[in-house]
Copies of this chain bind each other. A is one copy, B any other.
Amino acid sequence: MGPDVFPVEPWRVRETRLDLDLIDESESLFALSNGHIGLRGNLDEGEPHGLPGTYLGSFFETRPLPYAEAGYGYPEEGQSIVDVTNGKIIRLYVDDEPLDVRYGELLAHERVLDLRAGSLARRLRWRSPAGGLVEVESTRLVSFTHRSVAAIEYVVTAVDAPLRITVQSELVANEDLPDQSDDPRSAAPLSGVLEGLHHEHGDGTALLVHRTRRSGLMMAAGMAHELELPSGRALETDSAADWARTTVTCELQPGQRLRLVKYLAYGWSSVRSRPALRDQVHAALTSARHTGWAGLVADQRGYLDDFWDGADVEVEGDPDLQQAVRFGMFHVVQASARAQRRAIAAKGLTGPGYDGHAFWDTEMFVLPVLTYTLPHAAADALRWRASTLDLARDRARQLDLAGATFPWRTIRGQECSAYWPAGTAGFHVNADIAAAFERYRLVTGDDTLERECGLEVLVETARLWASLGHHDRHGTWHIDGVTGPDEYTAVVNDNLFTNVMAAHNLESAAAACERHPEAARGLGVTTEETAAWRDAAAAVHIPYDDELGVHEQCEGFTRLREWDFTGNTDYPLLLHEPYVRLYPAQVIKQADLVLAMQVRGHLFTPEQKARNVDYYERRTVRDSSLSACSQAVMCARVGHLDLAHSYAYEAAMVDLRNLHGNTKDGLHMASLAGTWTALVQGFGGLHDDEGVLAIDPVLPGPIGRLTFRLRWREFRLTVTVTHEQVTFTVRDGPDGTLTIRHAGEDIEVGTGAPTVVDLAPRRPLSPGIPDQPPDCCPDPRTQTATGP
């Protein structure tokens, strides 16, 4: 997947020709979503396809989880995202020959994902096997402003001869899905899960209602059409349990065109009745038709204009990164904008990878971006977590723990991880969630979310840690038998990341109880309890190797066997090496200690950071897409700017260049968000772990200027960084000034004139550039490789 097919452009992702070998990947890249409806970028005519995909946020089927050797507390039921009724399909017949790009002659084919318009446009020119030449232009959008609505404009033009044209616009449920691979990161196959409950059709309209067989969730999909024909009108609609079809037939003279606008509406519920759902979809269709295609298009652009105005990142000197950071943010917005108290999945709604589950990625990688750029979406995602608190309490009780234990992977809120060492043992997800609540409060300055639900989450997660950890006979507080972010070293004692995040969780909870004493009392919190939390946090063990002068990822980590990189470098290692070999070796899947330094940086001296980066760089293979962005941030912070740039590029290209080989299963939301993180937290130096807005920028050579926008409290701030200076522009906000900690010193900036600060030259904090394991060196990015 190179720039020959996907050229680098600042505001678009354009596919210049149709390469069927890349069809799976392009379906993910070109997926449209608003967080509620997700449409993979399948061709209008339905096939060829890599994987058909139409998803509704958190609409899942359950399945029994099998265990050859079961154990107490193993989840018995999994949840998998369902490929719901496909409304994207518009089939075209040219003189009775079906448009299929595998037959006839495809003279031109271009698709454009427009990051400002929020739409996917396609333009093709095709000669049928019998010689009929047509041009087809289609534009597809999933509306940010009409949550239940997607729409497609489909235009067929006869080019050089009269043609008989037939168009079938369809709804199809229970599509056949191709078999998935054995890769544990892809989805469990689920097909035929929808039971048809109701179908109806009218004049160019149709509606299907289905229910999942096991989970019992009901969904409805409806379509309506607007038609422009040179003359006449031959429209026919029919429906059955699993399909509905509107057929249009006409004759087009050369230059004449048929234009069809297809409105799609979706709804689902676990509690509402069949008529209620049916009517809800009907209402959405009516509203969409009333707004009209042009209105939907305008609304879509308006929504995104507003977003970009407050969130855009401009990168001068690296057009690839420029494109990628916008592509990433666009998909993050797509995954979250209208998710509205549903989980933001690791793949958003772009594919079935990881069964459509949400992980800690959401709170740790996606929400930081949203908190600074689209805070209402962050709040909604946190409200979803809070809504699962009772399930998390049940799980904690099952595990003989106090408080609440949020699931490692889930759609609805129940633990769905069938492998506890890399699931249940990943307790840090609880601290990650707590930190996301705390960050939201800190960045937005808004404590309504904390009052509404955040306090309770903080308290229950603090209780979890208090029951999970313990003091040793010398009074040091430990958390044992847990798995940190790095899944190649699992079930360890005193994972540093987990320990510092747990301590932060405990401190945040104690402080929140202090802020809301009455509510805290209502939760049964006593001052003894908060004192115990603070004491544990203060006594937390921070593993450190005195001899080597580096922190340990976990107790004893630096004493473990070194990985034999002479012989075992088939990446990802997890597909070629057993856990029993990976776990006790100093080989690291993804940033773990490095992530701890990113998010809790003030706990480390600059020299410690530099030594730690050096040590862990040599042992990190980046078999996870959650790693490069953190390595970018920390390499930037310790002054390895070229390396940081390379990592930023790698994070940015995970999907645009399919670096992990599984973009076909859906996009990597965390890494897409991570491009922003690499640029804004890395080169922009943004961090908030000291409770203040801190910005400490530095640019790598090729990037001449970096501009980013963010929200802090009621302010909107633009930060422009060059090699020489940083300019803070407060665009709007309340009267008074905003304090920014720049390079360790607090400065006051106001809504008046921009504040310009000169940058001191930055030198690497350690001699030499860290090495990576063999074949793990990121592609060097010392100069920009592509672009205009």
Q: List the interface of chain A (C-beta within 8 A of B).
A: 65-73, 78, 182, 184, 188, 398-401, 417-421, 423-425, 470, 472-473, 478, 480-482, 490-491, 493, 547, 555-556, 559-562, 568, 574-581, 583-585
Contacts and interface: CB of A to CB of B under 8 A. Distances in A.
A419 B71 contact: yes
A429 to B, nearest CB: 13
A400 B578 contact: yes
A149 to B, nearest CB: 36
A555 B559 CA distance: 12
B184 A578 contact: no
A8 to B, nearest CB: 37
Contacts of A480: 560-561, 584-585
A574 B579 CA distance: 22
A561 B69 contact: no
Q: What 6 A-B pairs are tightest by C-beta distance, nearest first? A: A481-B584, A68-B418, A480-B584, A73-B578, A66-B66, A65-B68
A619 to B, nearest CB: 15
Contacts of A66: 66-68
A584 B72 contact: no
Given A491-B583, A579-B420, A68 B72 contact: no
Given A556-B556, A561-B480, A69 B419 contact: yes
Contact of A400 (B65, B490, B556, B568): B568
A29 to B, nearest CB: 27
Given A472-B559, A555-B556, A584-B493, A578 B67 contact: no
Contact of A70 (B78, B184, B421, B473): B184
A577 B420 CA distance: 13
Copies of this protein in the complex: 2
A491 B547 CA distance: 26
Contacts of A184: 69-71
Given A68-B78, A398-B578, A491-B583, 8 more contacts: A66-B66, A69-B417, A72-B574, A72-B575, A72-B577, A400-B581, A472-B559, A481-B584
B578 A71 contact: yes
Given A66-B66, A584-B480, A574 B493 contact: no
14 contacts: A65-B68, A71-B184, A73-B578, A73-B580, A398-B578, A400-B568, A421-B421, A470-B561, A470-B562, A481-B580, A481-B584, A490-B491, A491-B491, A493-B584
A503 B292 CA distance: 79
A547 B68 CA distance: 43
A71 B478 CA distance: 30
A592 B689 CA distance: 45
A302 B559 CA distance: 60
Nearest to A425: B580
Nearest to A561: B470
Nearest to A472: B559
A68 B67 contact: yes
Q: Which of A66, A425, A473, A581 counts the most chain B CB atoms within 10 A?
A: A581
A574 B71 contact: yes
A582 to B, nearest CB: 9
A482 B577 CA distance: 16
A401 B581 contact: yes
Contacts of A579: 71-73, 420
A481 B579 CA distance: 9
A68 B400 CA distance: 24
Nearest to A77: B68
A202 B545 CA distance: 80
Contact of A399 (B547, B556, B581): B581
A665 to B, nearest CB: 15
A499 to B, nearest CB: 13
Nearest to A72: B578
A556 B470 CA distance: 14
Contacts of A568: 400
Contacts of A575: 72
A574 to B, nearest CB: 6
B420 A578 contact: yes
A68 B575 CA distance: 16
Nearest to A541: B559
A65 B66 CA distance: 9
A555 B581 CA distance: 18
A152 to B, nearest CB: 37
A420 B577 CA distance: 13
A401 B577 CA distance: 10
Nearest to A490: B491
Q: Which of A68, A401, A473, A575 counts the most chain B CB atoms within 10 A?
A: A68
Contacts of A478: 559, 561
Given A491-B491, A556-B493, A560-B480, A578 B69 contact: no
Contacts of A481: 580-581, 583-585
Contact of A420 (B70, B561, B580): B580
A545 to B, nearest CB: 10
